[in-house]
Amino acid sequence: MNSFIFSLLLGAPQGAEGGGAGSMISTFIPFILIIGIFYFLIIRPQNKKQKETQRMLGAIKKGDKIVTIGGVHGVIQNVKDSSVVVKVDENTKIEFSRSSIASVVDGKADKADKIEEKKAETPDDKPAQGTEESKS
């Protein structure tokens, strides 16, 4: 049993005497290809994402709008060595570790949302008859 497994690892059939180096190389080519595929499809993109996240966490400053991993939206009020204080409401401040920040939200997107909200609040059409405004 052990000699069978050993011969499979070496890639040479039992009783074959010649071509040991060539068959060994042909046996390792699929393993090398699999390692290369894993590197380019899994390891390399993960390393890029990790570097990008570290760069983002190093660049956060007071006033940045963030989203945490748990989905909490807020504005950074204070930056410490390993944590940040986030203002989530008028009187509510929560301290998070830096690693719990998922992304920094771009302020331009929020301005566009506020403009759309204002447009939705102001009615362009005249009030229909029968509303409270026409009854007074």
In a domain, residue 126? The reply is no
Residue 78 domain flag: yes
What pLDDT digit, counting tens, does each position of 9-22 carry?
A: 665 555 545 556 67
Task: State the CATH number of the domain containing residue 107.
Answer: 2.30.30
Q: What is the pLDDT of residue 136?
A: 44
Q: Classify residue 81: in a domain, yes or no.
A: yes
Write down the pLDDT at residue 10: 63
Regarding whether 67 and 51 lie in a shared domain, the answer is no
Q: Is the pLDDT of residue 68 over 80?
A: yes
**Taking 60 as the threshold, does the pLDDT of residue 134 lie above it?**
no
Same domain assignment for residues 13 and 46: yes
Same domain, 36 and 82: no
Full strand arrangement of the beta sheet holding 73-79: 93-97, 83-87, 73-79, 65-68, 101-105
pLDDT on residue 56: 94
Task: Note whether 70 and 53 are same-domain residues.
Answer: no
Give residue 89's pLDDT.
93
Same domain, 31 and 68: no
What pTM, to 2 d.p., does this model score?
A: 0.55
User: Is the residue at 131 inside a domain?
Assistant: no
Residue 83 CB contacts under 8 Å (≥ 6 apart), including other chains: 95, 96, 97, 98
Flag whether pLDDT at 29 surpasses 90: yes
pLDDT digits (tens, 9 = 90+) for 73-124: 999 999 999 999 999 999 999 999 999 999 999 865 455 455 555 655 555 5
